[in-house]
């Protein structure tokens, strides 16, 4: 039983991913009706804890009660899930980029089974409250970071949750949007006092506003309590310092407060100068007339949110991007992307710590040293110096992916410094790094600037880091708002701190006090919650189906695969797999040159299969021409052939066939033997009359269904089942795996949608497309390839529709076994092509198969549709003859969907 006043009760909970221990026997009671914050750097287990509380992740060990019930119980989770809202980490991680603002919220409304009128009212209310109403038709992918997070919040609040879980909702968002976001949360809480909120955050300034905090480090809880309590306990005046004090002794060792000595006035030139720098991406002005000058040796900071143009500006300074207007100068020389020399004076560290994960630390340093053309004999010394200075001695043979973020960051800086550049350009170098490592990093920067005179240009979205810079520029929407010393910026605005000052500049730039004021407080919602969730919600299923359709329509590459993929492959196979052997080149080495031998040769020349070439002169030439590949067949007629034949002596005609393609050679062999026989027959007839030549019996050969034995007629009805399995299965597998890879699968975990609804919803649009493909392929077969359709078309189409449903269901089953989209593409190709080509009667009939092959043929749906397709196309069959074959197909559909649903998980493992 949950203790009174707690929303979640966590006891001895541990969680491991492979060898990593994300949570280590965590126990804590989270108070209800309060705003609770989880604080700590990246990778300490905050997100894991939130994922457990929200029910996204399955519990491994320990016990967890949320909203008064055990989260291990499926029944409780089903009951609690409509009362919990979860917003995962990452900007817009649970949103669908190609869907508009309205479509996104609407999708979530449907998942909670709200009717059209209810949805409409709620969406309007939420969009107005968050100020997103004017952008309701804009795709989510084109929103700014702050707007994405507000949209995420709308989606989370659509069902009036009692527990709102937010995982780093404001990381990388500009301070004004951040403030608006928290104001919004405050107003919502005011309207619904009973609602509990749990937030993970990397911003300590924000955490200071919460009611109660949980400080975490390395999978353990360091301390809990109100912010003021934590500060009082550690004797500090801010949470950053308090957090460092709370860390265990060994993690804190070596930490000291960053001290940057004041910059000595230098009379030197500017290291970096930008004037009126502008960059357009299409119509979008990413950087708008930015100007600044950075003297040598200065630490200059760029402060702004994600997407405000910081990175673009830096890329223009390094020559990575060409400027659309204005100039950028380094050391008084204009930046020219083709000027290789200037790059040797610049060190650049990009946002993602772009190190080569496949190389060791040593190899990374070595590669960069060589690329920067450091003298080969000096490289070891320089590397040793870097290793020493950045304290990398213990990890030289490790691979960067195995290292903690803090060390990776130092390595990244070492790599950027290997060639001793005069300018360092650092793009958000400290995101996600813990405070101790961050301070150590800034100490290194201070030394580089003050001792080595390196000019440092750094971007950040942390206020406390900005305070360490000599001068900063505040950036918003591609514009520089102000450039000055941080303290002067604060003073000029009479603000309490840099954040206040920044907000005041932002408000001035946007031209209104705060867009948040325009937003209204959402009305306290009457309890409109749908009483129970139906076992199978058609609305929820259709919600996924509609979303999938819209997404597919807006994704050209997947769309092309869906509509054109099978047509392209059909054309290719139709034209390519032609086993009719014609136009064979043959030549004769005729030693006899009599009327008889010429008659023999004419017999071959007259055949439609052979094209005569110039006669062969001698053995050498025959060898040469066969080797060239210009002859498929060479015939040698011995001297005195005609005479010997007439005298009844033994004669032998020699023939050489090019055997490099055996199946072709086999056919040639058959042709030549046949012609030889019929030539002999005709001679016999001439000599003794028709009666003598007749055989003992006649074998009447009837090639049925395909009297001309055309390979197109035989192949096309077999290729259609192949393609209708391959492409639909691939598309439906991709659609599921894609959600898993992009993270939006979370919506399956945290909303009432069931696995079956999810899968059927995903399958529906692809089945529809596959049926369209069935029509297209059949049309191609009949009208382009001229394959006669002799059977019952309606029956064939109905069977085809059932067959493609089983194909898309097959994709769902495959999707359970693969993790990435790339793997899905290859696994589906393998998992469909092999059984279809080998064991479904495409090449050899099913009745020729034995053992495992025969079993696969019985179970796999394709063999049955292959029979129907051939029967309906070539054999003139319909319902009466083929209905028995339909039964296995009809069975396959529910079985495959059922297996897919069983293999799918409603929680992350």
Stretch that binds other proteins, among 41-49, 377-385, 454-462, 573-581 (CB under 8 A): 573-581
What SS3 class is residue 306? coil
Residue 844 sits in the site that holds other proteins (CB under 8 A) = yes
- Pick from 340, 38, 53: nearest CA to 217: 38
What SS3 class is residue 453? coil
Stretch that binds other proteins, among 12-20, 54-62, 279-287, 558-566 (CB under 8 A): 558-566
Stretch that binds other proteins, among 187-195, 240-248, 383-391, 815-823 (CB under 8 A): 815-823
Least distance to other proteins from the beta carbon of 845, Å?
Answer: 5
Q: Which helix (H) or strand (E) holds 329?
A: strand 325-330
In the set 21, 136, 344, 539, which binds other proteins (CB under 8 A)? 344
Least distance to other proteins from the beta carbon of 650, Å?
Answer: 7
Residue 554 sits in the site that holds other proteins (CB under 8 A) = no
Least distance to other proteins from the beta carbon of 747, Å?
Answer: 20
What SS3 class is residue 283? coil
Count of residues binding other proteins (CB under 8 A)?
130
DSSP 15-47: EEETTEEEEEEEEEEEETTSEEEEE--TTSSHH
In the set 198, 355, 802, 857, which binds other proteins (CB under 8 A)? 355
Q: Which one, 670 or 689, has the nearer CB to other proteins?
A: 670
What single-letter DSSP state applies at residue 99?
S
In the set 572, 794, 855, 887, which binds other proteins (CB under 8 A)? 572
Distance CA 54, CA 83 (A): 10
Specify the pairing of strand 333-334 against strand 346-349.
unpaired
Query: 85 forms bridges with which residues in the sheet?
Result: 164
Sort 380 into a burial class: Cβ within 10 Å, 0-12 / 13-18 / 19+: exposed
- Pick from 655, 672, 701, 654: nearest CA to 581: 672
Contacts of 861 (CB under 8 A, 6+ apart): 725, 803, 806, 807, 810, 888, 889, 892
Rg of the chain on CA atoms, in Å: 38
In the set 48, 464, 821, 840, which binds other proteins (CB under 8 A)? 821
Sort 207 into a burial class: Cβ within 10 Å, 0-12 / 13-18 / 19+: buried
Q: Which helix (H) or strand (E) holds 198?
A: strand 196-201
* Nearest-5° Cα angle at 798, 793 to 802: 145
Least distance to other proteins from the beta carbon of 399, Å?
Answer: 8
Query: Which residues between 16 and 55 bind other proteins (CB under 8 A)?
Result: none
Distance CA 778, CA 798 (A): 13
Stretch that binds other proteins, among 72-80, 691-699, 768-776, 804-812 (CB under 8 A): 691-699
Query: Which residues between 664 and 683 bind other proteins (CB under 8 A)?
Result: 664-667, 669-670, 672-673, 676, 680
- Pick from 85, 392, 34: nearest CA to 189: 34
Least distance to other proteins from the beta carbon of 773, Å?
Answer: 14
Stretch that binds other proteins, among 5-13, 39-47, 450-458, 705-713 (CB under 8 A): 705-713
Joined together, the tokens standing for residue 26 give: 């965590």
In the set 233, 553, 627, 858, which binds other proteins (CB under 8 A)? 627
Q: Which one, 157 or 355, has the nearer CB to other proteins?
A: 355
Q: Which one, 190 or 680, has the nearer CB to other proteins?
A: 680
Residue 722 sits in the site that holds other proteins (CB under 8 A) = no
Distance CA 429, CA 441 (A): 9
Sort 62 into a burial class: Cβ within 10 Å, 0-12 / 13-18 / 19+: middle
What single-letter DSSP state applies at residue 532?
S
In the set 384, 510, 524, 822, which binds other proteins (CB under 8 A)? 822
Least distance to other proteins from the beta carbon of 751, Å?
Answer: 25
Q: What are φ and ψ of residue 21, in 5° steps?
A: -100, 105
In the set 123, 877, 892, 904, which binds other proteins (CB under 8 A)? 877
Least distance to other proteins from the beta carbon of 592, Å?
Answer: 12
Residue 881 sits in the site that holds other proteins (CB under 8 A) = yes
Residue 830 sits in the site that holds other proteins (CB under 8 A) = no
- Pick from 832, 840, 872: nearest CA to 857: 840
Q: Which one, 215 or 734, has the nearer CB to other proteins?
A: 734
Joined together, the tokens standing for residue 533 give: 């969730």
Distance CA 803, CA 279 (A): 53
Residue 620 sits in the site that holds other proteins (CB under 8 A) = no
Q: To which residue do tokens 């309490």 refer?
A: 496
Least distance to other proteins from the beta carbon of 513, Å?
Answer: 39
Least distance to other proteins from the beta carbon of 577, Å?
Answer: 5
Asked if 345 and 331 touch (Cβ cutoff 8 Å), the reply is: yes
Site string for other proteins, 632-661 (x = CB under 8 A): -------------x--x-xxxxxxxxxxxx
Least distance to other proteins from the beta carbon of 837, Å?
Answer: 10
Stretch that binds other proteins, among 248-256, 473-481, 545-553, 824-832 (CB under 8 A): 824-832
Q: What are φ and ψ of residue 528, in 5° steps?
A: -110, 15
Residue 257 sits in the site that holds other proteins (CB under 8 A) = no
Stretch that binds other proteins, among 27-35, 324-332, 545-553, 562-570 (CB under 8 A): 562-570
Site string for other proteins, 304-323 (x = CB under 8 A): -----------x--xxxxx-
Q: What are φ and ψ of residue 271, in 5° steps?
A: -80, -45
Q: What are φ and ψ of residue 496, in 5° steps?
A: -75, -35
Distance CA 716, CA 430 (A): 60
Stretch that binds other proteins, among 210-218, 294-302, 792-800, 875-883 (CB under 8 A): 875-883
Residue 201 sits in the site that holds other proteins (CB under 8 A) = no
Least distance to other proteins from the beta carbon of 630, Å?
Answer: 9
Residue 741 sits in the site that holds other proteins (CB under 8 A) = yes
Residue 850 sits in the site that holds other proteins (CB under 8 A) = yes
In the set 107, 243, 292, 348, which binds other proteins (CB under 8 A)? 348
Query: Which residues between 376 and 415 bind other proteins (CB under 8 A)?
Result: 399
Q: Which one, 295 or 871, has the nearer CB to other proteins?
A: 871
In the set 381, 510, 579, 617, which binds other proteins (CB under 8 A)? 579
Residue 362 sits in the site that holds other proteins (CB under 8 A) = no
Distance CA 348, CA 153 (A): 36
Least distance to other proteins from the beta carbon of 807, Å?
Answer: 15
Residue 711 sits in the site that holds other proteins (CB under 8 A) = yes
Residue 715 sits in the site that holds other proteins (CB under 8 A) = yes
Asked if 38 and 46 touch (Cβ cutoff 8 Å), the reply is: yes
Residue 331 sits in the site that holds other proteins (CB under 8 A) = no
Specify the pairing of strand 61-66 against strand 69-70.
antiparallel
Least distance to other proteins from the beta carbon of 578, Å?
Answer: 4
Contacts of 242 (CB under 8 A, 6+ apart): 230, 231, 233, 234, 236
Joined together, the tokens standing for residue 62 give: 């320990």
């Amino acid at each position: 039983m949950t203790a009174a006043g707690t929303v979640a009760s966590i006891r001895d909970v541990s969680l491991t991913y492979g060898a990593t221990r994300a949570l280590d026997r965590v126990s804590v009671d989270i108070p209800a009706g309060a705003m609770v914050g989880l604080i700590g750097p990246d990778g300490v287990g905050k997100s894991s804890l939130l994922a457990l509380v929200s029910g996204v992740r399955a519990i491994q060990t320990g016990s967890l009660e949320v909203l008064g019930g055990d989260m291990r119980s499926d029944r409780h989770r089903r009951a609690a899930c409509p009362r919990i809202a979860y917003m995962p980490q990452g900007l817009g991680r649970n949103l669908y980029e190609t869907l508009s603002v309205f479509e996104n919220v609407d999708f979530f409304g449907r998942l909670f089974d709200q009717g059209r009128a209810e949805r409409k009212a709620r969406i309007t209310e939420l969009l107005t409250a968050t100020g997103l109403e004017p952008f309701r038709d804009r795709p989510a992918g084109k929103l700014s970071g702050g707007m994405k997070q507000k949209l995420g919040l709308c989606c989370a609040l659509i069902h009036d949750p009692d527990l709102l879980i937010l995982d780093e909702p404001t990381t990388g968002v500009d301070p004004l949007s951040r403030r608006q976001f928290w104001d919004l949360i405050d107003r919502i809480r005011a309207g619904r006092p009973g609602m509990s909120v749990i937030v993970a955050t990397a911003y300590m300034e924000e955490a200071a506003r919460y009611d109660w905090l949980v400080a975490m480090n390395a999978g353990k809880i360091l301390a809990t309590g109100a912010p003021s309590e934590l500060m009082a306990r550690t004797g500090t005046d801010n949470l950053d310092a308090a957090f460092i004090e709370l860390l265990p002794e060994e993690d804190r060792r070596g930490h000291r407060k960053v001290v940057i000595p004041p910059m000595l006035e230098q009379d030197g030139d500017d290291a970096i100068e930008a004037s009126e720098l502008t960059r357009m991406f299409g119509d979008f002005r990413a950087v708008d007339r930015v100007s600044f000058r950075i003297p040598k040796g200065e630490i200059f900071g760029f402060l702004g949110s994600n997407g405000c143009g910081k990175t673009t500006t830096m890329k223009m300074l390094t020559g990575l991007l060409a400027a659309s207007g204005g100039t950028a100068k380094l050391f008084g020389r204009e930046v020219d992307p083709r000027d290789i020399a200037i790059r040797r004076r610049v060190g650049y560290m990009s946002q993602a710590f772009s190190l080569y994960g496949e190389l060791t630390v040593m190899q990374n340093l070595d590669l960069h040293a060589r690329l920067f053309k450091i003298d080969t004999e000096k490289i070891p010394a320089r590397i040793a110096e870097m290793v020493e200075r950045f304290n990398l001695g213990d990890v030289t043979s490790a691979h960067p992916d195995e290292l903690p973020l803090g060390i990776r960051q130092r390595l990244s800086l070492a790599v950027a410094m290997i060639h001793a550049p005069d300018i360092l350009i650092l793009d958000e170098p400290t995101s996600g790094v813990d405070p101790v490592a961050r301070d150590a990093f800034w100490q290194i920067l201070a030394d580089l600037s003050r001792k080595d005179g390196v000019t440092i240009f750094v971007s950040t979205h942390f206020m406390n880091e900005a305070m360490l810079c000599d001068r900063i520029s505040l950036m918003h929407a591609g514009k520089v708002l102000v450039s000055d010393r941080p303290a002067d910026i604060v003073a000029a605005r009479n603000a309490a701190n840099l954040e206040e000052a920044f907000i005041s500049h932002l408000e001035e730039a946007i031209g209104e006090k705060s867009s948040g004021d325009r937003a209204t407080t959402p009305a306290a919602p009457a309890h409109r919650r749908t009483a129970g969730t139906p076992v199978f919600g058609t609305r929820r299923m259709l919600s996924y189906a509609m979303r999938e359709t819209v997404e597919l329509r807006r994704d050209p590459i997947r769309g092309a695969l869906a509509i054109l993929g099978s047509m392209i492959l059909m054309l290719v196979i139709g034209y390519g797999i032609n086993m009719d052997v014609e136009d064979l080149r043959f030549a004769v080495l005729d030693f006899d040159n009599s009327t008889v031998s010429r008659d023999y040769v004419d017999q071959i020349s007259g055949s439609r299969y052979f094209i005569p070439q110039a006669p062969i002169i001698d053995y050498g030439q025959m060898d040469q021409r066969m080797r060239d590949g210009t002859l498929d067949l060479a015939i040698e007629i011995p001297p005195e052939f005609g005479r010997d034949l007439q005298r009844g002596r033994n004669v032998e005609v020699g023939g050489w066939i090019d055997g490099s393609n055996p199946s072709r050679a086999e056919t040639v062999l058959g042709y030549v033997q046949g012609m030889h026989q019929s030539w002999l027959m005709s001679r016999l007839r001439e000599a003794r009359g028709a009666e003598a030549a007749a055989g003992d019996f006649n074998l009447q050969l009837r090639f049925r269904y395909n009297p001309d034995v055309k390979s197109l007629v035989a192949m096309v009805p077999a290729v259609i089942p192949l393609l209708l399995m391959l492409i639909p299965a691939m598309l439906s597998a991709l659609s599921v795996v894609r959600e898993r890879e992009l993270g939006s699968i979370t919506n399956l975990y945290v909303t009432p949608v069931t696995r079956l609804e999810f899968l059927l919803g995903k399958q529906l649009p692809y089945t529809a497309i596959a049926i369209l493909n069935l029509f297209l392929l059949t049309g191609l077969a009949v009208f382009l390839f001229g394959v006669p359709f002799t059977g019952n078309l309606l029956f064939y189409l109905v069977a085809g529709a059932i067959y493609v449903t089983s194909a898309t269901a097959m994709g769902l089953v495959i999707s359970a076994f693969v993790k990435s989209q790339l793997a899905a593409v290859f696994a589906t190709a393998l998992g469909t092509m092999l059984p279809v080509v080998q064991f479904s009667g495409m090449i050899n009939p099913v009745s020729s198969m034995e053992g495992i092959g025969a079993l696969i043929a019985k179970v796999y749906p394709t063999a049955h549709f292959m029979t129907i397709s051939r029967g309906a196309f070539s054999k003139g069959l319909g319902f009466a003859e083929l209905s028995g074959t339909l039964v296995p197909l009809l069975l396959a559909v529910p079985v495959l969907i059922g297996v897919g649903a069983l293999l799918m998980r409603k929680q992350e493992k």
